[in-house]
């Protein structure tokens, strides 16, 4: 972690903990990275190694949480450094695939930045709004805390959890239920909106050279063309090059959440905190899937779409009767308690049709104020006049690409009653990161090399303990 101007020495971090973090070698942190599951105040039932903490749980400070929140958000601007032309024939290559130009601490396919985080602690459960990157803002204690406060949207006035008597499977897995999401811990829970990048990636796929554009077929409908017959007849798609919709999966968009979680864990380790990536509450339970809400409640309260059962669902999706239609329900959005839309998938009901959803992705990229519509952003990325030249010279999606994508997306929704059909609009990896103050005495008692100097010095450096 470094200050925004690239040199933490140019900024007074305003806190000894931040100063220690800026000075800590990355390779040392990576090499010493280990999971520390036992938080301060926890009890470990483990036979002769059982342990009961003499301490009360101690939540993270506001600054400690603010560092973690900053690591989930935007950290500056990315660099469009792709080729514009195919070197074989000089034809233009679609060189404007990005969904966003703001970058984060981890990579993302087409910079979709589709991962949203929830933060869970003793005071409630919060959606973390991604703030615009603030170039030149120093990573000092005051700035970090202020931005963290602006990012947090409280969606629950309590810790997201099930009642104590329901902590067994399917809510929690095995031993996790004894150490996960305990009082005093902070949990970061990733949720990924796949829908926008699913549309964008389809368009990117259809920008391949002549004879290399695949024919999308539906492996849940006898491998029939997925709304693209006319595009095969016209020669736009290669009828001999078939690609099943099921093979697309989540379009690799889910990878960014894994990378962000690793960055968060390494940073927590460097701060001398305990960190643990592990199975979350069952994602369907956590989001409020109607299949589980009667037993567990609304939880985060996502809105779900349940496709109307039709006879072909029997062989397409193995849903035998209308009363089992909820087997194919999937989350499509989340609204704050005050009515603010926090997550809206690019599909009905947020859009009247899938054609309208595709058009919304195009507007977000190329319309007024869109990703490629703000010249000032590219002036901040490139030197001299190269930003203007990039916008003028790099190609965008051709009309045929957009029209073909509309047809594919419309086919998916009309045929299967939801979009996407072969993956969820909002995907939950099923893991989360718990960060906490470690139970120092436990690790000192049982392990030869259980703590780093960062763990041992954390109380003095971050919390002012003697």
Q: For position 60, which CATH number holds? A: 3.40.109.10
Task: Examine residue 1 and state whether it is found in any structural domain, yes or no.
Answer: no
Q: What are phi and psi of 458, to 5 degrees?
A: -60, -45
Residue 178: both structure tokens together? 């004894």
Task: Examine residue 300 and state whether it is found in any structural domain, yes or no.
Answer: yes
What domain range includes position 426?
Answer: 8-463
The tens-digit pLDDT sequence of the chain (466 residues) is 444 344 444 456 889 999 999 999 999 999 999 999 999 999 999 999 999 999 999 999 999 999 999 999 999 999 999 999 999 998 889 899 999 999 999 999 999 999 999 999 999 999 999 988 765 556 799 999 999 999 999 999 999 999 878 899 999 998 999 999 999 999 999 999 999 999 999 999 999 999 999 999 999 999 999 999 999 999 999 999 999 999 999 999 999 999 999 999 999 999 999 999 999 999 999 999 999 999 999 999 999 999 999 999 999 999 999 999 999 999 999 999 999 999 999 999 999 999 999 999 999 999 999 999 999 999 999 999 999 999 999 999 999 999 999 999 999 999 999 999 999 999 999 999 999 999 999 999 999 999 999 999 999 999 888 7
Task: Examine residue 97 and state whether it is found in any structural domain, yes or no.
Answer: yes
Contacts of 9 (CB under 8 A, 6+ apart): none
Residue 340: both structure tokens together? 């603010």
Task: Examine residue 2 and state whether it is found in any structural domain, yes or no.
Answer: no
Number of domains in the chain: 1
Task: Examine residue 312 and state whether it is found in any structural domain, yes or no.
Answer: yes
CB contact at 8 A, 417 and 425: no
pLDDT digits (tens, 9 = 90+) for 371-384: 999 999 999 999 99
C-alpha span between 252 and 95 (Å, rounded): 19
Q: What is the pTM of this model?
A: 0.94
pLDDT digits (tens, 9 = 90+) for 384-421: 999 999 999 999 999 999 999 999 999 999 999 999 99
Calculate the alpha carbon distances from 320 to 83, 128, 379, 419 in Å.
50, 40, 57, 21
Please give the pLDDT value at position 4.
39
Residue 327: both structure tokens together? 């087997």
Task: Examine residue 197 and state whether it is found in any structural domain, yes or no.
Answer: yes
In the chain, what is the greatest distance between 2 CA atoms, to the nearest angstrom? 77
CB contact at 8 A, 419 and 348: yes
Task: Examine residue 434 and state whether it is found in any structural domain, yes or no.
Answer: yes
């Amino acid at each position: 972690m470094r200050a925004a101007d690239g040199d933490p020495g140019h900024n007074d971090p305003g806190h000894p903990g931040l100063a220690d973090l800026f000075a800590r070698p990355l390779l040392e942190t990576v090499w010493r990275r280990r999971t520390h599951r036992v938080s301060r105040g926890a009890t470990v039932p483990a036979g002769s190694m059982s342990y009961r903490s003499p301490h009360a749980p101690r939540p993270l400070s506001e600054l400690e949480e603010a560092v973690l929140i900053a690591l989930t958000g935007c950290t500056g601007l990315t660099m469009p450094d792709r080729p514009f032309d195919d070197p074989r024939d000089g034809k233009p290559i679609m060189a404007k695939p990005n969904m966003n130009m703001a970058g984060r601490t981890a990579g993302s396919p087409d910079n979709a930045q589709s991962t949203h985080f929830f933060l869970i602690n003793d005071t409630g459960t919060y959606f973390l709004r991604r703030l615009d990157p603030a170039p030149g803002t120093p990573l000092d204690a005051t700035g970090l805390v202020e931005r963290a406060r602006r990012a947090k949207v409280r969606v629950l006035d309590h810790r997201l959890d099930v009642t104590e008597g329901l902590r067994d499977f399917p809510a929690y897995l095995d031993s996790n239920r004894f150490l996960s999401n305990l009082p005093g811990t902070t949990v970061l829970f990733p949720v990924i909106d796949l829908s926008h990048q699913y549309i964008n990636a389809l368009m990117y796929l259809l920008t391949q050279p002549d004879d290399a554009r695949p024919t999308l077929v539906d492996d849940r409908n006898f491998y029939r063309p997925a709304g693209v017959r006319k595009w095969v007849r016209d020669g736009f798609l290669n009828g001999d090059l078939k690609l099943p919709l099921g093979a697309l999966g989540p379009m690799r968009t889910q990878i960014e959440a894994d990378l962000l979680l690793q960055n968060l864990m390494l940073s927590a380790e460097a701060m001398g905190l305990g960190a643990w990536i592990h199975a979350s509450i069952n994602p369907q339970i956590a989001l409020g899937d109607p299949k589980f809400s009667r037993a567990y409640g609304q939880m985060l309260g996502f809105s779900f779409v349940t496709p109307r059962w039709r006879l072909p669902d029997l062989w397409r999706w193995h849903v035998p009767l209308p009363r089992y239609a909820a087997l194919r329900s999937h989350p499509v959005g989340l609204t704050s308690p005050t009515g603010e839309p926090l997550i809206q998938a690019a599909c009905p009901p947020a859009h009247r049709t899938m054609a309208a959803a595709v058009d919304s992705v195009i507007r977000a990229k190329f319309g007024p104020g869109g990703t490629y519509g703000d010249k000032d952003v590219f002036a901040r990325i490139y030197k001299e006049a190269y930003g203007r030249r990039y916008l003028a010279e790099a190609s965008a999606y051709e009309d045929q690409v957009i029209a073909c994508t509309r047809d594919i997306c419309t086919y998916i929704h009309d045929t299967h009653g939801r979009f996407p059909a072969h993956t969820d609009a909002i995907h939950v990896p099923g893991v989360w990161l718990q960060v906490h103050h470690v139970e120092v005495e436990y690790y000192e008692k049982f392990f030869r090399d259980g703590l780093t100097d960062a763990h041992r010095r954390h109380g003095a450096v971050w919390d002012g303990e003697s």
